[in-house]
């Protein structure tokens, strides 16, 4: 009896314990949130409802991040839309994670003045750089100051020693003293100041080339000092080498410049005129261009400047004599002689009065003097600057080139001049 009561009590205890465990399991089951369409759920069969109930998935509710956040957003599983609308589709249950990319931050708004320019200007030149050294070898320093644009003007200068080439070129560049001029002690010693070719580029994209002097005894002495073995036997060898070097320099300027200025303090030096005509003849093999299968030659504009002109040189009769001599010296030349020099300065030009091809510059002085038969030096140099900058430009090559392409063209021209057959034959005839 006691054993039956004990068994019954033990059975009830185990039964209530199992009931309590079942209740705890039911309490711990997750809550499944499923969105079902009302119309379709009412029309579904019991078998479909059991299938849809088995296909229910848990929904992970994640708070979306702000769009303006820059950091990346972790992938989230998107809830399947309309699960009950496609109960038989197996692909509706197996979904791929969708990655939400963060939006790019907005770019800072810039005005038209602050917008970066596609054509950035090179650094401003504070002093000239070497284009050709003392041995007439091309230097690579000027390349960083040149731009990839076609609107530029190249102006070169030639002349004997001490005639004021560097000073006039500095005045034309509107930067007094930018090219080194001869000091009184250098001029008294008979030494030269410029060596090779110096280049200076203005903000207006005008390229000025200052050259070493022609017929310079000090320059020839330096050449003899470099090549003692070559020039020790005969003095004529040094003279011939100096002449070939001058011809190389003039032919180089005639091939790469839009305007070539010939400066002299004594009207016309016949030796310089001969050098210009010879360089014009010898450069034919170095700068030929082919346009429509026709060989064409490039010839720059030549501007003749007489420096340190006296008051009598400004008279009409003196200028007429100079004009007649220039026409005789350059008869048959293909160089374009600039004959736009006019000294009326406000007066009406008579129909029979011709403009001069020689620009006169008086002796420069800082003192304020009275009228000496001509206008001031500042007005004359301003007129010369306007005349040069308004010179019609022609293409140096067959096609328009930029400043950087002009530099590479100058390198090729100098190489062809030194290796030209005409210059070698001319040098052989001199000896």
Averaged confidence pLDDT in the chain: 74
Contact 40, 85 (CB under 8 A): yes
Contact 343, 356 (CB under 8 A): yes
Q: For 362-376, how does the pLDDT look when each residue is reduced to its tens digit (9 = 90+)? A: 887 655 555 566 678
Maximum distance among all Cα pairs of the chain, rounded to whole angstroms? 164
- Helix H or strand E segment including 201: strand 197-201
Give the DSSP per-residue string, 35-69: ---HHHHHHS-HHHHHHHHHT-------PPPPTT-
Contact 149, 119 (CB under 8 A): yes
Q: For 10-33, how does the pLDDT look when each residue is reduced to its tens digit (9 = 90+)? A: 777 777 777 776 666 555 555 566
Query: What is the reported pLDDT for 257?
Result: 94
Quote the tokens at residue 284. 């034919």
Give the DSSP per-residue string, 26-40: HHHSPPP-----HHH
- β 259-264/288-291 pair status: unpaired
The total of other beta-carbon atoms located within 10 Å of residue 214's CB is 26
Give the residue carrying structure tokens 């088995």. Answer: 54
pLDDT at residue 408 is higher than 50: yes
Give the DSSP per-residue string, 255-303: HH-SEEEEEESSS--HHHHHHHHHHHHHGGGTSEEEETTEEEE---EEE
Residues 6+ apart with CB under 8 A from 303: 259, 260, 261, 262, 338, 359, 384, 387, 388
Query: What is the reported pLDDT for 349?
Result: 46
* 230 pLDDT tier (thresholds 50, 70, 90): low
Residues 6+ apart with CB under 8 A from 207: 152, 153, 154, 155, 199, 200, 201, 403, 406
CA atoms in the 13 A half-sphere facing the CB of 292: 0
* Cα torsion angle, 329, 415, 301, 167, sign: negative
The fourth-level CATH superfamily of domain 130-344+352-430 is P-loop containing nucleotide triphosphate hydrolases (3.40.50.300)
Residues 6+ apart with CB under 8 A from 68: 103, 105
Report domain extents, the chain.
Answer: 130-344+352-430
Between residues 355 and 402, the one the model is more confident about: 402
Q: For 47-63, how does the pLDDT look when each residue is reduced to its tens digit (9 = 90+)? A: 555 555 455 555 555 55
Q: For 146-182, how does the pLDDT look when each residue is reduced to its tens digit (9 = 90+)? A: 998 889 999 999 999 888 899 999 999 988 888 988 7
- β 153-158/206-211 pair status: parallel
Q: Which of 219, 220, 259, 225 is nearest to 240 (CA)?
A: 220
Contact 251, 286 (CB under 8 A): yes
pLDDT at residue 350 is higher than 90: no
Query: What is the reported pLDDT for 17?
Result: 74
pLDDT at residue 352 is higher than 50: no
The total of other beta-carbon atoms located within 10 Å of residue 299's CB is 17
Phi, psi of 265 (to 5 degrees): -100, 5
Q: Which of 360, 362, 372 is nearest to 319 (CA)?
A: 360
pLDDT at residue 251 is higher than 90: yes
Give the residue carrying structure tokens 């007649």. Answer: 324
């Amino acid at each position: 009896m006691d054993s039956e009561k004990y068994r019954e009590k033990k059975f009830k205890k185990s039964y209530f314990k199992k009931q309590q465990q079942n209740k705890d399991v039911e309490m711990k089951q997750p809550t499944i949130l499923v969105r079902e369409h009302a119309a379709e759920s009412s029309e579904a069969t019991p078998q479909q409802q059991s299938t849809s109930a088995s296909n229910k998935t848990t929904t992970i509710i994640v708070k979306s991040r702000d769009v303006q956040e820059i950091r990346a957003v972790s992938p989230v599983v998107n809830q399947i839309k309309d699960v009950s609308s496609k109960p038989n589709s197996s692909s509706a249950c197996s979904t791929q994670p969708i990655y939400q990319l963060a939006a790019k931050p907005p770019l800072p708004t810039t005005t038209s003045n602050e917008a970066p320019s596609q054509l950035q200007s090179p650094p401003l030149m504070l002093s000239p750089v070497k284009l050709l050294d003392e041995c007439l070898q091309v230097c690579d320093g000027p390349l960083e100051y040149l731009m990839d644009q076609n609107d530029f003007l190249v102006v070169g200068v030639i002349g004997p020693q001490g005639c004021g080439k560097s000073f006039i070129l500095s005045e034309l560049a509107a930067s007094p003293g930018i090219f080194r001029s001869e000091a009184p002690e250098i001029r008294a010693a008979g030494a030269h100041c410029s060596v090779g070719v110096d280049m200076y580029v203005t903000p207006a994209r005008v390229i000025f080339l200052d050259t070493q002097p022609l017929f310079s005894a000090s320059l020839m002495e330096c050449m003899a000092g470099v090549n003692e073995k070559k020039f020790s036997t005969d003095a004529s060898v040094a003279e011939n080498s100096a002449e070939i070097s001058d011809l190389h320099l003039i032919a180089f300027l005639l091939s790469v410049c839009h305007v070539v200025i010939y400066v002299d303090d004594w009207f016309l030096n016949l030796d310089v005129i001969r050098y210009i005509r010879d360089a014009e003849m010898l450069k034919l093999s170095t700068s030929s261009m082919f346009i429509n299968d026709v060989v064409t030659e490039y010839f720059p504009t030549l501007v003749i400047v007489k420096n340190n002109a006296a008051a009598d040189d400004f008279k009409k009769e003196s200028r007429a004599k100079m004009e007649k001599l220039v026409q005789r010296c350059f008869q048959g030349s293909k160089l374009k002689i600039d004959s736009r020099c006019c000294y009326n300065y406000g007066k009406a030009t008579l129909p029979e009065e011709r403009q001069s091809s020689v620009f006169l510059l008086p002796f420069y002085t800082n003192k304020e003097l009275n009228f000496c038969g001509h206008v001031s030096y500042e007005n004359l140099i301003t007129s010369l600057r306007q005349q040069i900058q308004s010179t019609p430009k022609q293409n140096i090559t067959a096609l328009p080139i930029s400043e950087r392409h002009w530099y590479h063209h100058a390198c090729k021209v100098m190489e062809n001049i030194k290796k030209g057959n005409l210059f070698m034959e001319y040098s052989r005839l001199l000896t």
